[in-house]
Amino acid sequence: MAEAQLINGRADAAVAPEDRGLTYGDGVFETIAIADGQPRLWDYHMDRLLEGAHRLGLPEPPLATLREEARYLARPAGGAVLKIYYTRGVGDGRGYRPPAQPEPRRMLIRHGLPAIPEERWEGVDCRLCQVRLSAQPALAGIKHLNRLEQVLARSEWHDPAVAEGLMLDPDGLIVEGTATNIFAVRGRTLVTPPLAEAGVTGVVRRWILAQAEALGLRVEQRGIRPEQLPEMDEVFLTNSLIGLWPVRSVASRELPVGTVSRSLLERMAEQRLTPLLGQARGQP
């Protein structure tokens, strides 16, 4: 449950039932790791929030206010997760048509860290989800509030030994996990799906693409078929909370855990990208 929250700057507020965030999923959100009293990868998160607001035609998010409120919620000791929601606010009764003068709602919610078994940073088992991600270039890449495909995909399994489910596009290419981006390494090439038609351009994905050159890796953005995974030297998943999980099996086919994953995990721990990673690496 929430440790603290600010809704349009107020600690005690609830949300009107007619907020378009609820009635239409008309908004965007960010899930931000808090470590050492600071939100991490803040600029990347804000870049994506801005891009999402722009794509949906929402008013410009108030970045200075968001930063101030995020810092306030990040201050208490201990790692945490900060969720930021930015919706078009209450509609004016005209249905889907956005109000001419929307009064957007911003909601910042601080949660405690989830309990995740440490061995996940050594390697995780994944499945392939039945529900596919539909192709929708108008919404691809941004982190909007229409997430039923992910909810349905995550409802497909209950086995706690399965850490993540991979989702395919209509052509059968892997796009991402339900809550993670996916990378594969083959030789000196780092492969990740392009996300032009489906998926979310994760902030850690962006961070990794920025490290590739320093690691001597060439980046190739292309789809990967499930049957191509065993040809890869290593496969890993990323998001802002976990940092990176190496994948050791997909649908019971074993995959090798490699050196690129380990190098990236070390860099992430050094840069304190997420408080969970610090714990997993033995840093309190």
Contact footprint for a second copy (CB under 8 A): 1-2, 5, 7, 14-26, 29, 56-57, 83, 85, 87, 93-98, 107, 109, 111-112, 114, 131-132, 134-136, 138-139, 144-155, 170, 178-179
Structure tokens at 184: 């594969």
Amino acid identity at 175: V
Token pair listed for 6: 């600010």
| Catalytic, out of 30, 176, 197, 234 | 176
Q: Considering beta carbons, is residue 46 or 145 the nearer one to a second copy?
A: 145
- Judge whether 83 counts as a catalytic residue: no
| Contact status, residue 46 vs residue 66, Cβ threshold 8 Å | yes
31, 122, 149, 189: which one is catalytic?
Answer: 31
In whole angstroms, what is the distance from residue 268 CA to residue 118 CA?
16
* Nearer Cβ to a second copy (182/212): 182
Q: Which is nearer to a second copy, 136 or 283 (CB)?
A: 136
- Dist. CA 141–CA 157, nearest whole Å: 25
Min CB(201)–a second copy separation in Å: 17
Q: How far is the CB of 21 from a second copy (least distance, A)?
A: 5
Smallest separation (angstroms) from a second copy to the CB of 128: 15
Tallying the residues shown for the chain, one arrives at 284
Please spell the DSSP secondary structure of 217-228, one letter per residue.
Answer: -EEEE--B-GGG
Q: What are phi and psi of 93, to 5 degrees?
A: 80, 10
Which of 18/254 has CB closer to a second copy?
Answer: 18
Least spacing, CB of residue 231 vs a second copy, in Å: 29
Q: Which residue is catalytic, options 30, 143, 234, 238?
A: 143
- Indicate if 259 belongs to the active site: no
- 30 has catalytic annotation: no
The answer to whether 212 and 247 have CB atoms below 8 angstroms apart is no
Is residue 159 within a helix (H) or strand (E), and if so which, with residue range? none
Which residues are catalytic, by number?
A: 31, 143, 176
